[in-house]
């Protein structure tokens, strides 16, 4: 099956994509393009999937760079293929031929580009990383490499939508304690639960960081099982593990 790659006009003409699960070699609960090396999927199959992504990005497999994601606000600067993956949740580069890649399964995959400056970034922004500032940190790191804040375009890829993201009152309190204005990202749910709008929160943080353009592709990972993996869907079903989607961008 051919890979399905979602793109954004605002990141053109750079090669980039939010890859769906279609077109991969994995089977069972991982069926599709599982690129998660931390999953219990067969390593050789994950490597085949990642090689297919590298080919689509027109780079060698060792130039498809990713990090050990830890739900932090840490950003790695990548000037050459990494010998070891750093613990971080975002990457930036001004080096042509390096494809930055982020793995997600409900969290926000965010691709950044200042085409004129030749600086790109990629971030994994779950609720914790977004609240702690991973998006702003990525923008700051791009500016340090020569990007102009107002020329940066940022696109949030397939993520869990508000309708599918039920959270506790205690979860909401963590946001409201940080800033009472964060109440706008929550809606009443069943009983005492709340519904959190992760992508609206991400877009707001990006715009406050001063990027010139920010958008969400509008795809919900939870609601479209045929195209996307979802940690929350897997949890609700009591399944043993879940696949990871990949998003990538290169100069």
Q: Which domains does the chain have, with CATH numbers?
A: 5-161+197-250 (3.60.140.10)
How many contiguous H segments (helices) and E segments (strands) does the chain have? 6, 14
Predicted local confidence at residue 141, as pLDDT: 98
Instruction: Determine how many CB atoms are found less than 10 A away from the CB of residue 226.
Output: 9
Residue 53 is predicted with a pLDDT of 98
- pLDDT (0 to 100) of residue 214: 98
What integer pLDDT is reported at residue 173 of this predicted model?
94
Question: How high is the pLDDT of residue 37?
Answer: 92
pLDDT computed for residue 91 by the predictor: 98
Successive 10-residue mean pLDDT values, the chain, 251 residues:
94 98 97 96 97 98 96 96 94 98 98 98 98 98 98 98 96 95 95 95 98 98 97 95 98 97
188: three-class secondary structure by DSSP: strand
pTM assigned to the model: 0.97
Q: What pLDDT is stored for residue 192 in this prediction?
A: 87
pLDDT at 83: 86
């Amino acid at each position: 099956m051919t890979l399905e790659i979602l793109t954004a006009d605002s990141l053109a003409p750079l090669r980039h994509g939010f890859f769906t699960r279609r077109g991969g070699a994995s089977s069972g609960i991982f069926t599709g393009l599982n690129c998660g090396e931390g999953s219990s999927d067969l390593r050789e199959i994950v490597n085949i999937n990642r090689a297919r992504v590298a080919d689509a990005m027109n780079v060698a497999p060792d130039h498809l760079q990713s990090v050990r994601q830890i739900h932090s606000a840490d950003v790695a600067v990548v000037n050459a293929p990494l010998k070891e993956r750093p613990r971080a949740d975002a990457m930036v580069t001004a080096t042509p031929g390096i494809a930055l890649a982020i793995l997600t399964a409900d969290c926000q995959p965010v691709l950044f580009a200042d085409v004129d400056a030749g600086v790109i970034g990629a971030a994994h922004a779950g609720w914790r990383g977004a609240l702690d500032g991973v998006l702003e940190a990525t923008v700051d790191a791009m500016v340090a490499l020569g990007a102009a804040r107002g020329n940066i375009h940022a696109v949030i890829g397939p993520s869990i939508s508000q309708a599918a993201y039920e959270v506790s009152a205690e979860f909401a309190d963590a946001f409201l304690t940080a800033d009472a204005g964060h109440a706008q990202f929550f809606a009443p749910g069943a009983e005492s639960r709340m519904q959190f709008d992760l992508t609206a929160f991400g877009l707001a943080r990006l715009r406050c960081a001063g990027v010139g353009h920010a958008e969400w592709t509008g795809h919900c990972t939870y609601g479209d099982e045929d195209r996307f993996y979802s940690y929350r869907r897997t949890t609700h079903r009591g399944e043993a593990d879940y696949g990871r989607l990949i998003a990538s961008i290169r100069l």
